[in-house]
């Protein structure tokens, strides 16, 4: 019996799937394009492509969880392209780290022809909102006033885009600095504070006002903001409260929430964890807390210590001598290890000496004179059920007593929404997050939107940025009283066959993790990762399979010589009889009609496995009739009323 082949007829969705890194990015950064531009040493164009959709490109070059890498087709062959580290390289080369803010005006004014164009990419965003943005030389702006609550990545991204559209944006920040969990939650050894400041300064230059030390409560509250003329509000206060474990001994001294620990450390306060530290959790926050515990606190104690952290202060410079991470998850289930970036984080943690204890569930905390002394663990058979839902299954037959000086809980976060009053009309979910329409981010109250962790729970920075940008579009439509429909244009450009080249042996280049500093120098706020040099970046960029480029087959030119099949190094092409295709009768009828096939004569079909194609172009070069060609595909996201 002949083998049957399941096929998919190409359509617009099919072609979008062939650029997986861009579709994998929540803000649809054209990662493949800027990686290819780095390989061509076109660093300015690469920077513009990476920055076009992302007001925090330099930040993401250091701390993004890189969902683009998880979708990278190169990962199906050996390992994904190191997209996140290449973004860091190009932002250091041509971003806020190397240029003064006012030297980047071309980013907002110029035409960026490189890469795909989506509604929130620059300068497309400005061009499509000309009815909103006024003449900059006259200093006039649109009348609409928008309030943003919280200055984390979601809030500032929303403010950034609304300002570009011409709105008057005011950001209300509860603390004395902007940045949200970028500043308060991520250790400085991963993300420089000066870099955060530079990114925020660029947003301020657009006219965004940030009011510090202005927490919402009784006054001002949501109602007062409306009374002061704010026509729309975006709530992005984040989740800065850690979750408790409801087990015996949870209130003992020495049991601290990871988010509280990181906030104290990142604001200059020392926290005495002792010499042996246990972190409970399996996500990025757990790793941040564990790696920070090895480094200890700041060198000098600040003079104006707030009473809220007096109990946590101690004049101690050295970090812990032992740091352990215990997680419910097995290594296969651990959230960090589900991403390419997380694997490198895990390897760095191991190199620094952190010890892992997977499949352990805390049963109780044991104390001595009111302070934590040990943790009693039971076994965990599995953490997630058959549907992927969090549903731990414990193994009481396993018991372990683990002695420790302190416990850091990294088991989730929650938001403080005490500023929301019943009269505001904002509903909450059973999990105590703000209820929103996932498409528009609209809350149950007209003109009020919410995004980031406060709407979805703790998630990646790039997801928060995407929420901010999505909210900006929704607020714009709300204030303009229009509802836009979205459609896509696909542009195709044929590459002359003889001009198509790839770097020699590019398919054999191995992924190399970004360079890091020596283990002995990893103290305090010393940044661990140093980034690629130019030669390393170019070589890593050359690993890209150039998914924009598609192998196009013209059946009417094909003479069925089979040369393309014979030369393919990955065996991804196959010429098979038409009757071996598993297609419905309607599709088969369309094929017969399109190619004027004789139903009584045998016909053949060319099949291609795009998962294994490396875009080497040998099939096109070998084809004697030009039936095989290499063509570049790009998409434009369009909108119409």
482 compared with 107, residue with greater pLDDT: 482
Residue 261's region, left for phi above 0, alpha for psi from -120 to 50, else beta, is: alpha
Whether residues 218 and 255 share a domain: the answer is no
DSSP-based three-state secondary structure for 104: helix
CA separation for the pair 155, 240 (Å, rounded): 15
Helix pair angle (284-295, 340-351), 10° resolution = 30
Q: Which of 193-202, 376-385, 573-582, 621-630 has the lowest mean pLDDT?
A: 573-582
For residue range 245-281, list pLDDT tens digits in order: 899 999 999 999 999 999 988 888 888 899 999 999 9
pLDDT band of 470, cuts 50, 70, 90: very high
Domains of the chain: total: 3
What stretch of H or E contains 148?
A: strand 145-149
Total residues found in the chain within this entry: 641
268 compared with 227, residue with greater pLDDT: 227
479: domain CATH number is 3.50.50.60
Q: What is the pLDDT of residue 472?
A: 96
Residue 115 pLDDT greater than 60, yes or no: no
What the block records as the tokens of 577 is 């009889």
Range of the domain at 260: 250-301+308-404
CA separation for the pair 302, 282 (Å, rounded): 32
CA angle 138, 142, 143 (to 5 degrees): 120
Whether residues 422 and 494 share a domain: the answer is no
In a domain, 410, yes or no: no
Distance in Å from the first CA to the final CA of the chain: 54
For residue range 163-222, list pLDDT tens digits in order: 988 899 999 999 999 999 999 989 998 999 999 999 999 999 889 999 999 988 767 899
What stretch of H or E contains 392?
A: strand 390-403
From 483, 502, 534, give the residue that closes a domain: 483
Whether residues 314 and 421 share a domain: the answer is no
CA separation for the pair 349, 337 (Å, rounded): 12
For residue range 290-308, list pLDDT tens digits in order: 999 988 755 444 434 333 3
Asked if 262 and 409 touch (Cβ cutoff 8 Å), the reply is no
In a domain, 78, yes or no: yes
Please report, rounded to a whole number, the percentage of residues in the chain having pLDDT higher than 70.
87
Burial (0-12, 13-18, 19+ Cβ within 10 Å), 107: middle
Measuring CA to CA, which residue among 612, 609, 613, 611 is closest to residue 630?
Answer: 613
**The CA-based dihedral angle spanning residues 158, 162, 167, 171, taken in that order and rounded to the nearest 10 degrees:** 20
Whether residues 373 and 257 share a domain: the answer is yes
CA separation for the pair 112, 473 (Å, rounded): 21
In a domain, 569, yes or no: yes
- HEC string of 404-471 equals CCEEEECCCEECCCCCCCHHHCCCECCCCCECCCCCCCECCCCCEEECCHHHHCCCCHHHHHHHHHHH
Measuring CA to CA, which residue among 447, 438, 513, 444 is closest to residue 475?
Answer: 447
Average pLDDT over residues 584-608: 81
From 404, 426, 458, give the residue that closes a domain: 404
CA separation for the pair 416, 225 (Å, rounded): 19
In a domain, 409, yes or no: no
In a domain, 561, yes or no: yes
For residue range 121-178, list pLDDT tens digits in order: 876 766 666 544 444 444 444 558 999 999 999 999 999 999 988 899 999 999 999 9
pLDDT band of 587, cuts 50, 70, 90: confident
Contacts of 587 (CB under 8 A, 6+ apart): 9
Average pLDDT over residues 7-35: 80
For residue range 367-380, list pLDDT tens digits in order: 999 999 999 999 99
In a domain, 245, yes or no: no
DSSP-based three-state secondary structure for 218: coil
Q: How many helices (H) and strands (E) does the chain have?
A: 22, 22
3 compared with 61, residue with greater pLDDT: 61
Q: What is the pLDDT of residue 390?
A: 87
Asked if 161 and 125 touch (Cβ cutoff 8 Å), the reply is yes
pLDDT band of 100, cuts 50, 70, 90: very low
CA angle 628, 632, 633 (to 5 degrees): 115
What the block records as the tokens of 279 is 């972190």
**Residue/partner pairs of 502-507 with CB below 8 Å, 24 or more apart:** 502/546, 502/615, 502/616, 502/617, 503/39, 503/542, 506/542, 506/543, 507/77, 507/569, 507/614, 507/616
Whether residues 271 and 378 share a domain: the answer is yes
Asked if 361 and 329 touch (Cβ cutoff 8 Å), the reply is no
Whether residues 544 and 529 share a domain: the answer is yes
Asked if 461 and 157 touch (Cβ cutoff 8 Å), the reply is no
Beta bridge partners of residue 400, listed in sequence order: 377
**The CA-based dihedral angle spanning residues 115, 121, 122, 124, taken in that order and rounded to the nearest 10 degrees:** 90
Model pTM score? 0.88
Asked if 144 and 167 touch (Cβ cutoff 8 Å), the reply is yes
pLDDT, the chain, mean: 85
Neighbours of 143 (CB within 10 A): 12
CA separation for the pair 90, 504 (Å, rounded): 23
CA separation for the pair 384, 372 (Å, rounded): 29
Whether residues 26 and 156 share a domain: the answer is no
CA separation for the pair 318, 13 (Å, rounded): 54
Asked if 48 and 112 touch (Cβ cutoff 8 Å), the reply is yes
Residue 614 pLDDT greater than 90, yes or no: yes
Q: How are beta strands 549-553 and 628-640 bridged, if at all?
A: antiparallel
Measuring CA to CA, which residue among 379, 408, 412, 374 is closest to residue 249?
Answer: 374
Tell me which DSSP letter residue 337 carries: G
Average pLDDT over residues 78-85: 95
Whether residues 23 and 61 share a domain: the answer is yes
Burial (0-12, 13-18, 19+ Cβ within 10 Å), 113: exposed
Whether residues 51 and 153 share a domain: the answer is no
* CA–CA distances in Å: residue 296 to residues 111, 288, 321, 361: 47, 12, 10, 27
Whether residues 153 and 189 share a domain: the answer is yes
pLDDT band of 602, cuts 50, 70, 90: confident
Measuring CA to CA, which residue among 446, 454, 440, 399 is closest to residue 424?
Answer: 446
Q: What is the pLDDT of residue 94?
A: 82
Please report, rounded to a whole number, the percentage of residues in the chain having pLDDT higher than 90.
54
Q: What is the pLDDT of residue 217?
A: 78
Whether residues 208 and 272 share a domain: the answer is no
Beta bridge partners of residue 372, listed in sequence order: 367
List the alpha helices (DSSP H) in 253-312: 258-266, 284-295
Q: What is the pLDDT of residue 314?
A: 32
What the block records as the tokens of 386 is 């058959």
In a domain, 136, yes or no: no
Residue 401 pLDDT greater than 60, yes or no: yes
For residue range 506-557, list pLDDT tens digits in order: 999 999 999 988 887 877 677 889 999 999 999 999 999 998 888 889 988 9
Whether residues 104 and 159 share a domain: the answer is no
In a domain, 337, yes or no: yes
Neighbours of 534 (CB within 10 A): 12
From 350, 371, 404, give the residue that closes a domain: 404
């Amino acid at each position: 019996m002949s083998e049957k082949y399941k096929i998919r007829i190409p359509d617009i969705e099919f072609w979008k799937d062939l650029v997986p890194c861009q579709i994998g990015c929540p803000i649809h950064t054209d990662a493949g394009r800027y990686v290819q531009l780095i390989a061509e040493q076109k660093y300015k164009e690469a920077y513009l492509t990476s920055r076009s959709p992302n007001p925090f490109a330099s930040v993401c070059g250091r701390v993004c969880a890189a969902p683009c890498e998880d979708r990278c087709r190169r990962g199906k062959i050996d390992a994904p392209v190191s997209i996140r580290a290449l973004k860091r390289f190009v932002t250091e080369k041509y971003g806020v780290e190397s240029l003064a803010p006012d030297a980047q005006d071309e980013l907002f004014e110029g035409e960026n022809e490189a890469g795909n164009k989506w509604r929130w990419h620059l300068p497309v965003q400005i061009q499509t909102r000309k009815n909103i943005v006024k003449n900059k030389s006259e200093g006039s702006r649109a009348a609409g006033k928008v309030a943003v609550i919280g200055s984390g990545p979601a809030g500032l991204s929303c403010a950034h885009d609304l300002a570009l559209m011409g709105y008057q944006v005011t950001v209300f920040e509860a603390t004395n600095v902007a940045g949200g969990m970028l500043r308060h939650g991520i250790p400085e050894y991963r993300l420089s504070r000066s870099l955060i400041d530079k990114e925020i300064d660029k947003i301020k230059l657009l006219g965004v006002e940030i009011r510090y030390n202005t927490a919402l409560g009784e006054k001002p509250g949501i109602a007062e903001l409306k009374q002061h003329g704010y026509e729309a509000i975006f709530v992005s206060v984040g989740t800065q409260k850690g979750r408790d474990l409801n087990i015996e001994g949870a209130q003992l001294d020495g049991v601290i929430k990871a988010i509280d620990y990181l906030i104290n450390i990142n604001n200059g306060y020392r926290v005495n964890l002792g010499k042996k530290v246990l972190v409970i959790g399996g996500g990025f926050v757990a790793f941040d807390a564990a790696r920070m515990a090895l480094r200890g606190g700041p060198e000098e104690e600040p003079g104006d210590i707030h009473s809220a952290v007096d109990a946590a202060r101690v004049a101690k410079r050295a970090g812990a001598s032992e740091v352990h991470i215990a997680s419910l998850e097995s290594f296969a289930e651990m959230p960090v290890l589900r991403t390419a970036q997380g694997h490198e984080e895990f390897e760095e943690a191991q190199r620094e000496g952190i010890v892992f204890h997977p499949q352990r569930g805390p049963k109780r905390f044991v104390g001595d004179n009111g302070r934590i002394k040990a943790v009693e663990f039971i076994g965990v058979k599995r953490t997630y059920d058959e549907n992927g839902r969090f549903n731990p299954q414990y193994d009481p037959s396993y018991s372990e007593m683990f002695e420790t000086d302190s416990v850091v809980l990294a088991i989730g976060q929650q938001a403080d929404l005490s500023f929301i009053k019943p009269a505001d009309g904002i509903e909450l979910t059973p999990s105590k997050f703000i209820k929103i329409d996932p498409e528009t981010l609209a809350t149950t109250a007209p003109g009020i939107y919410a995004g980031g962790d406060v709407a979805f729970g703790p998630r990646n920075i790039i997801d928060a940025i995407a929420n901010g940008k999505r909210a900006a579009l929704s607020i714009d439509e709300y204030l303009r009283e229009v509802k836009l429909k979205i459609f896509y244009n696909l542009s195709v450009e044929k590459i002359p066959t003889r001009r198509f080249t790839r770097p020699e042996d590019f398919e054999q280049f191995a992924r190399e993790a970004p360079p890091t500093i020596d283990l002995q120098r990893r103290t305090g706020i010393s940044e661990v990762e140093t980034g690629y040099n130019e030669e390393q970046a170019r070589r890593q960029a050359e690993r890209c399979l150039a998914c924009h480029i598609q192998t196009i087959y013209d059946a009417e030119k094909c003479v069925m010589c089979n040369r393309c099949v014979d030369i393919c190094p990955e065996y991804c092409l196959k010429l098979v009889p038409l009757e071996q295709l598993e297609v419905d009768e309607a599709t088969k009828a369309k094929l017969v009609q399109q190619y004027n096939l004789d139903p009584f004569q045998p016909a053949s079909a060319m099949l291609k496995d795009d998962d294994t194609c490396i875009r080497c172009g040998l099939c096109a070069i070998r084809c004697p009739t030009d039936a095989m060609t290499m063509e570049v595909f790009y998409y434009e996201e369009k909108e119409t009323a």
